[in-house]
Amino acid sequence: MTLSEIVQAEHIVPDLQATDRWEAIDELIGQLVSSGAIKEEDREAITEVVKKRENSMSTGIGFGIGIPHAATDVIGDVVGALGRSKVGIDFEALDNQPVNLVVLFLVPQGQFQKHLHTLANIAKLLHNREFRDSLDNAEDAAAIQQIISQPAE
């Protein structure tokens, strides 16, 4: 699945307040709860599974990108959120650089191929410097949504 298929405008946080990866994960899961994409009663279980995955190895992949993700049995479809930090977040990234763009996504348990394909699509898209720059310069969530909805060149 692509970024535009899993991240709706109401799932975008254009100005993350988080200062570390754990706060960023909490903030993005909170956005998914407040937008109705995931149920409030599932919040704790989802947070636990994402943080467990993140503890095994940081999903800060370099270039200012973090892609926390996990599989869970409490959702029926792939869902995601995108956050942007103007100041940068300590994500314990592979290149030790702060993260400015965080894409959190969840995949239903047992959909391993979909999980891998979604991760690969998001990582490939975010490795494009022009794409990242346009997200960094977008005015608000609507502008970010418009950028991620444009077909890849």
Is 11 one of the catalytic residues?
A: no
Q: Cα-atom radius of gyration of the chain, to the nearest Å?
A: 14
Catalytic residue among 11, 69, 115, 117: 69
Q: Which residue is associated with the tokens 């702060």?
A: 98
List residues with catalytic annotation: 69
